[in-house]
């Protein structure tokens, strides 16, 4: 049977094209864009070569060696996304809000110098993606039905039904045979025109727990390495309702379909970086991250309820699936980054960052499953993404700083119909003393996507157009000692 297809919008963590759940997770957990600190976020995440900020651990670990004092910082953030969905000429809006911890970290520069070599280390946590999102799609007059997606599977082999889709529709009494023996549904027989409400709600995060060590060689070369554990939690609930309040359709009044899925797991990766300071005003950086080797567990449950007209004499019915569980592994693509920062008289900095990631290198595998079709889809549909970031910081007075940045996150999809380039704009300010600092940032991004909710009776996808605008307000409080 054809799996339900969606494209999920999640600002900051980007857009996910969901051909099927495994391929979706391969992309979703491979794309990362660290929340970091408020200083990092305000400058568009471009300060990998500048260093001296806890967020350097998630970009270029050599930046930890730039520190001149030990530091502890915490970065709470307030994240919200507003969505709008257009389908069959009707626009629907929704939103979701979530509190988040962008980063929490400690860096020590209690350096014991041997000649001109110094050592620093850092430990902490960074959020790499926030999956919170809620989208509502509506139609007042449908010309298809979700039941159209289930009918072909029942017709092809009624004795071997998918327990998560066709079987629950069959158990709910929503698909049956007409006078000719063909399988069909009441909404199709009645010419459709029913009302549809569909809500997709997502939550979860991708977080990194890391330990970093870095060397400062004569304030000329900085080298560092990070060992990190990634924690994954992703939850998705789809609530799909079709109803006939005008009673245009005989027999069937309405039905509701619910699909709930959960993915949890962990992974590990290593990151290496170097910063070169050829002259006092210039820093050049480069970093390399190995693939993340994930071990994931997925759980899914579906159910369906049908409600019939009283005069039909039919009893309302209910169907539900077993709880499905799957364990599998995912290797995300490696990442390569290059950075540069210019420092002008300790009054201003200008930084740029380039990131290369080939998403076709993502790979799924399990002991009992080869994932041949899924890996072929990844190799065919996903490609290289070239991500660019730029940021600036200007000091006014002695302790006051103003910052701005921009990010361009390139779509990795080869099919231009699934284009999901994203621009994120940011700004902020900070107050810094020798012992205490406080930073604030605000980031905003907007993304437009098409979603395919299901396949109609002709085998074509039913497309809705979604847009999401997301905001992230972050604060960082830090102590130096």
Indicate whether 119 pLDDT > 80: yes
Beta strand ranges found along 244-333 (DSSP E): 252-279, 282-289, 293-308, 317-320, 324-331
DSSP label at 167?
H
Percentage helix, strand, coil, to 5, in the chain?
15, 60, 30
Indicate whether 6 pLDDT > 70: no
Average pLDDT over residues 367-382: 89
Residue 312, pLDDT score: 81
CA distance 315 to 318: 10
Task: DSSP for 191-250, please give it.
Answer: T---EEEEEEEEEEEEEEEEEEEEEEETTTEEEEEEEEEEEEEEEEEEEEEEE-TT--SS
Among 111, 121, 122, 123, smallest CA distance to 218 is for: 111
pLDDT in tens, 130-163: 999 999 999 999 999 999 999 988 888 888 899 9
92, 136 contact by CB (below 8 A): yes
| 433 φ/ψ angles, rounded to the nearest 5 degrees | -120, -175
210, 58 contact by CB (below 8 A): yes
Q: Within a domain: residue 187?
A: yes
Indicate whether 179 pLDDT > 90: no
pLDDT in tens, 378-393: 999 899 999 999 999 9
- Structural domain span for residue 466: 6-480
Average pLDDT over residues 76-104: 94
Say which range, 241-245, 262-266, 417-421, has the weakest mean pLDDT: 417-421
Among 278, 272, 271, smallest CA distance to 219 is for: 278
Indicate whether 220 pLDDT > 80: yes
pLDDT-based confidence at residue 361 (cuts at 50, 70, 90): very high
Q: Within a domain: residue 369?
A: yes
Q: Within a domain: residue 1?
A: no
CA distance 35 to 19: 27
The whole-model pTM stands at 0.89
Number of domains in the chain: 1
CA distance 46 to 60: 10
Indicate whether 321 pLDDT > 70: yes
Task: Report the sign of the C-alpha dihedral through residues 414, 415, 417, 418, in that order.
Answer: negative
Q: Within a domain: residue 15?
A: yes
Residue 418, pLDDT score: 62
Q: Within a domain: residue 270?
A: yes
386, 353 contact by CB (below 8 A): no
For residue 79, the domain's CATH number is 2.40.160.60
Q: Within a domain: residue 362?
A: yes
DSSP label at 2?
P
Query: Could you tell me the two tokens for 372?
Result: 């041949």
Residue 4, pLDDT score: 35
Query: Could you tell me the two tokens for 447?
Result: 């993304």
Q: Within a domain: residue 202?
A: yes
Indicate whether 15 pLDDT > 70: no
Q: What is the largest CA-CA distance in the chain?
A: 92
Contacts of 436 (CB under 8 A, 6+ apart): 477, 478, 479, 480
Indicate whether 73 pLDDT > 80: yes
Task: Please provide the average confidence, as pLDDT, over all residues in the chain.
Answer: 90
Contacts of 262 (CB under 8 A, 6+ apart): 234, 235, 236, 298, 299, 300
pLDDT in tens, 335-354: 999 999 999 988 999 999 99
Q: Within a domain: residue 164?
A: yes
pLDDT in tens, 103-115: 999 999 866 555 5
CA distances to 21, 171, 253, 279, 435 from 154, rounded to whole Å, are 22, 12, 22, 71, 69
Contacts of 254 (CB under 8 A, 6+ apart): 241, 242, 243, 244, 306, 307
């Amino acid at each position: 049977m054809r799996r339900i297809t969606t494209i999920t919008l999640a600002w900051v963590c980007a857009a996910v094209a969901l051909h099927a759940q495994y391929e979706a997770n391969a992309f979703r957990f491979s794309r990362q864009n660290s929340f970091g600190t408020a200083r990092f976020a305000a400058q568009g995440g471009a300060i990998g070569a500048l260093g001296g900020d806890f967020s350097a651990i998630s970009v270029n670990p050599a930046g930890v060696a730039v520190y001149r004092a030990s530091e502890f910082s915490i970065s709470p953030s307030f994240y919200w996304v507003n969505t709008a969905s257009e389908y069959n000429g009707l626009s629907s809006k929704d939103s979701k809000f979530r509190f988040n911890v962008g980063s929490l970290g400690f860096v020590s520069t209690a350096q014991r110098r041997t000649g001109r070599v110094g050592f620093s280390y850092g430990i902490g946590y960074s959020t790499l993606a926030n999956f919170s999102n809620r989208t509502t799609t509506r139609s007042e007059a449908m010309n298809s039905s979700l039941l159209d997606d289930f009918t072909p599977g029942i017709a092809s082999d009624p004795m071997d039904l998918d327990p998560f889709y066709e079987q629950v529709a069959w158990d709910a009494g929503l698909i049956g045979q007409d006078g000719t023996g063909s399988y069909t549904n009441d909404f199709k027989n009645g010419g459709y025109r029913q009302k549809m409400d569909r809500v997709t709600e997502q939550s979860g995060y991708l977080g990194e727990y890391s330990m970093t060590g870095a060397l400062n060689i004569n304030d000329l070369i900085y080298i560092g390495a990070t060992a990190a554990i990634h924690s994954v939690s992703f939850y998705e609930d789809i609530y799909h309702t079709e109803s006939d309040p005008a009673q245009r359709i005989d027999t069937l009044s309405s039905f509701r379909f619910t699909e709930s899925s959960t993915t949890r797991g962990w992974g590990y990766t290593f990151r290496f970086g170097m910063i070169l300071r050829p002259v006092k005003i210039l820093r050049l950086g480069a970093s390399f991250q190995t693939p993340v080797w994930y071990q994931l567990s997925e759980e899914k449950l579906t159910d369906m309820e049908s409600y019939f007209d009283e005069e039909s004499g039919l009893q309302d019915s209910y169907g539900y699936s077993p709880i499905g569980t799957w364990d599998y592994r995912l290797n995300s693509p490696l990442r390569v980054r290059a950075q540069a920062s210019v420092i002008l008289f300790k009054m201003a900095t200008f930084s740029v960052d380039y990131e290369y990631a080939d998403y076709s290198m993502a790979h799924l595998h399990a002991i009992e499953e080869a994932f041949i079709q899924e890996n072929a889809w990844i190799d065919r549909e996903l490609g290289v993404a070239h991500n660019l970031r730029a940021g600036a910081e200007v000091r006014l007075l002695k302790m006051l700083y103003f910052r701005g940045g921009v990010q361009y996150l390139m779509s990795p999809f080869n099919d231009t119909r699934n284009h999901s380039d994203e621009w994120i704009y940011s700004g902020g300010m900070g107050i810094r003393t020798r012992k205490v600092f406080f930073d604030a940032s605000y980031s905003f991004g907007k993304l437009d996507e098409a979603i395919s909710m299901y396949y109609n009776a002709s085998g074509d996808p039913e497309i809705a157009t979604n847009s999401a605008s997301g905001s992230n307000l972050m604060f960082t409080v830090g102590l130096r000692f």
